[in-house]
Amino acid sequence: MEKDFRDVDPDAQIFVISVAAELAGMHAQTLRNYDRLGLVTPHRTTGGGRRYSPRDVALLREVQRLSQDEGVNLAGIKRIIELTNQVEELQRRVDEMAAEIVEIHRAYQRLPATISRSNALVVWKPRNQR
């Protein structure tokens, strides 16, 4: 039975390892191994305990799906995770840049018109076609 965490902050470190393992349908030792391999790295408490977020649990489920259903080895899964993170970061940057462009465009449209508009048409022809 998959739990739904739509109303919870996806990055809130709220699950101890035993709960995260149960939610992901795995053994706690598997989560420790994934942490050691750098596949899913939970937040650490000051005492060193692991705290998993709903996002971590979703990632654990995806690791399991890729491994069991798709037959991807752990090195391949790690690379998939890295590339997915890169794509998400690039998408965030594109979104930021698009917002900046919109703001620049709005600012440009607020500038007073300094060029007189006329009905003149200028046609340019390269020298070799004159």
- pLDDT tens across 1-12, in order? 455 666 778 788
Instruction: Give the mean pLDDT of 24-48.
Output: 95
Q: Tell me: pLDDT of 40 over 70.
A: yes
**Nearest partner of 60 among 39, 45, 78, judged by Cα:** 39
Give the model confidence (pLDDT) of 76-109 as tens digits.
999 999 999 999 999 999 999 999 999 999 988 8
Ordered by start, the domain boundaries in the chain are 17-110
**Three-state DSSP state, 43:** strand
Residue 1 is which amino acid?
Answer: M
> What's the fold here for domain 17-110?
Multidrug-efflux Transporter Regulator; Chain: A; Domain 2 (1.10.1660)
Task: Report the candidate in 68, 65, 31 with the shortest Cα–Cα distance to residue 50.
Answer: 31
Max mean pLDDT among 3-7, 47-51, 114-118 falls in 47-51
Q: What ranges make up the beta strands (E) of the chain?
A: 43-44, 50-51
